[in-house]
Amino acid sequence: MRKLIYITLSVFTLLLLTGCTPMINKYRVSVDAITNPNVSIAPTSYIIKPLGKDTDENSLEFQKHMSQLMKILEAKGYTQPYASHLAKQTIYFDYGIDKVKEETRTYTQPNISFGFYHDYYHPFWSDFTYSSYTTYQKTYVLYNRYIEILSKNQAGKELWRVDVSSVGESKDLKNIVPILLEGAEEYIGKNTDKPVNLVIKEKSSERKKE
């Protein structure tokens, strides 16, 4: 029985190390939204333009994220006009990434050994032992991944704005921007008294307020 327990633990550990267990990435997201208190906020016709001067609105990446934003807006009652000059709102959209922190940490861990042994008299299964220790360093780099959505009317007056950000190690904006857009969905055209923290699962896209 004891041998069976050790074998089971060993197999379970191997599964964890080789990634055979299901893993779902979760993202901690902060949402900050504000509206113009002197203007009535309501869905109208709109067009989307890049907010940043260096953003190429014709790039495939921008088109992909803009398409998701359009679906969100249209689900809220926004419509596209027959001609761009007829749009009641211009919605400026952009995304980016900033390096915010780099830190190197030192770790020490024991080298664990256990297994089946055979001495002069009889075989036996030994308890694990710490034979030595290994010290190693790992550098962590944290990035702020963000999106900005700003709406202006035909006169150029700001109507509402939503800023969403998430700090983490990944620089993969292709996969993270859709998560940030999902975080913005509920707060378009609304006010938040303070930044709202959300946890969003990557696969199931399940949103949970903290």
What secondary structure does DSSP assign to 113-171, as a single string?
E--EEE-SS-EEEPPPEEEEEEEEEEEEEEEEEEEEEEEEETTS-EEEEEEEEEEES--
The CATH number covering residue 179 comes to 3.30.160
Within-domain flag for 54: yes
Q: Contact at 8 Å (CB) between 161 and 151? A: yes
Q: What is the pLDDT of residues 3-21, one digit of tens each?
A: 433 344 344 444 444 444 4
Instruction: Assess whether pLDDT exceeds 90 at residue 176.
Output: yes
DSSP state of 89: E
pLDDT given at position 12:
41
Q: What is the pLDDT of residues 147-162, one digit of tens each?
A: 999 999 999 999 999 9
What residues does 158 pair with on adjacent strands? 152
pLDDT given at position 115:
52
pLDDT given at position 36:
95
Within-domain flag for 4: no
Within-domain flag for 93: yes
* Overall residue count recorded for the chain in this entry: 210
Domain that holds residue 195: 25-209
pLDDT given at position 101:
85
How far from chain centre, in Å, is Cα 74? 23
Instruction: Assess whether pLDDT exceeds 50 at residue 50.
Output: yes
Within-domain flag for 136: yes
Identify the residue with better confidence: 1 or 140: 140
Per the structure, how many domains does the chain have? 1
Q: What is the pLDDT of residues 71-105, one digit of tens each?
A: 999 999 999 999 999 999 999 999 999 998 887 87
Within-domain flag for 197: yes
Q: What number of CA atoms fall less than 13 Å from residue 147's CA on the CB side?
A: 29
Within-domain flag for 49: yes
